Amino acid sequence: MSVKNKVVRSTLICYLLIAVVFVAIRTLSAFGLLNFLGAWADYVFNIVVQIGLLLCVSIFLFSKLSKKKPGSVCHFFGMRKISGKAIWMSIGIGAMVFLLNIFVASFFNVILQLFGYNFSSSSQGGSYPFYMLIVNVIFTAILPGLCEEVAHRGLVLHGLSPLGWKRAVIISGLLFGLMHMNIEQFFYATIIGLFVGWLSVGCGSIFPAIIVHFMNNFLNVYISFSQSNGLVIGRLYSAFITALTSNFYLGIIFMIILCALLVWGIFTLSIKLQKERASGTINELKNVLVKQIIKQDYMHEIEKSQAEILGKEIAEALPLEENLDLEKTGSEAGLSSEIEDEMMREEGFKMDTVNKILLGTIFALLVGITLFTFIWGVL
């Protein structure tokens, strides 16, 4: 089996296991078989799915199947540091994605309503103390932002890169939407998944995607807390929504203008973020090249000294290896991983039958569950 097919095989086996166990847990929960956990059921479910499945299976099972160290796997998944400026730009993108997501979700909700779909109730009842804000930030923003991105922008996006980055972005985005196993979230989750996949490829790191995902979920949690407690942000948000819905036609016009501005802002800032990352990568490469040149010069000086002390003939019998190797420079700068280096040495790629069956099984399972939630909501 080719190296690329092995990488794809390892990726699909990991994700199929994640999907099957996730479906099993959701089914047990739906039938009340996890009720014995009481009020802790949701948190236990979250920890098992987010940390146990999405994070640990993605890294450690892939590490076992690919026979690479977890550190090398993390590097292959795109866990590469970004600058402080890139972090702030990612936060700004995440805030704009949250605002745009309000309109995108509303648009698809209207379409679902036209089909007679009945939405599940998710209102926050009773008081909303501060400690619950902390709990919800951890379980709704931090864990999903990290673990879901490792699984989809790390495992799936990079593991399926032999298919080509475009296909990998599309597949990872679709699986991200389907993994929510809820028709209400599928559409906007898929769009976000496609966007952060494109962002990850352009930046060469999944950290911007993690930050964008975290910000989208965090703002949703914080605004809910703010509304329940009558805080300024909550009141402003409620007034904003009321203004949009008070006059249908003016609301539509304003929404179109605002959506256009948000889309422009998101992609403008995303391009700047990608340029910032590219500039940082070039500087890393320059630093390594400078170090290599200095090292080479140092080796030449040692060779000259050897020639003077031992004589030219002896020095020639003891040659020192010149280390200016441009093929290794990328790896030394942290620009590529062992797995990527192995795949680059292999020309061409054609997905084998087993991998096609694995990918088809994953989609069949998740599409079936998502369609079931739609049918259940209509009936």
Considering only residues 304 and 47, tell me which one the structure prediction assigns the higher pLDDT. Answer: 47
Nearest to 174 by CA among 190, 162, 191, 152: 190
| Averaged pLDDT score across all residues of the chain | 85
pLDDT confidence tier of residue 324, bands split at 50, 70 and 90? very low
Residue type (1 letter), 333: A
Residues 331-342 have a mean pLDDT of: 70
Provide the domain limits for residue 294: 3-378
Selection from 144-148, 255-259, 348-352 with the highest mean pLDDT: 144-148
Question: Locate tokens 């298919």: which residue?
Answer: 163
> At residue 125, does pLDDT exceed 70?
no
pLDDT value at residue 319: 47
Q: Which pairs from 323-331 meet CB under 8 Å and 24+ separation?
A: 323/292, 323/295, 323/296, 323/299, 324/292, 324/293, 324/295, 324/296, 325/292, 329/285, 329/288, 329/289, 329/292, 330/285
Q: Ramachandran region of residue 38, left (φ > 0), alpha (ψ -120 to 50) or beta?
A: left
pLDDT digits (tens, 9 = 90+) for 27-70: 888 777 777 777 777 888 889 999 999 999 999 999 999 999 99
Number of domains the chain contains: 1
% of the chain surpassing 90 pLDDT? 54
% of the chain surpassing 70 pLDDT? 84
pLDDT digits (tens, 9 = 90+) for 151-207: 999 999 999 999 999 999 999 999 999 999 999 999 999 999 999 999 999 999 999
Residues 375-379 have a mean pLDDT of: 82
pLDDT value at residue 286: 67
Distance CA 239, CA 93 (A): 23
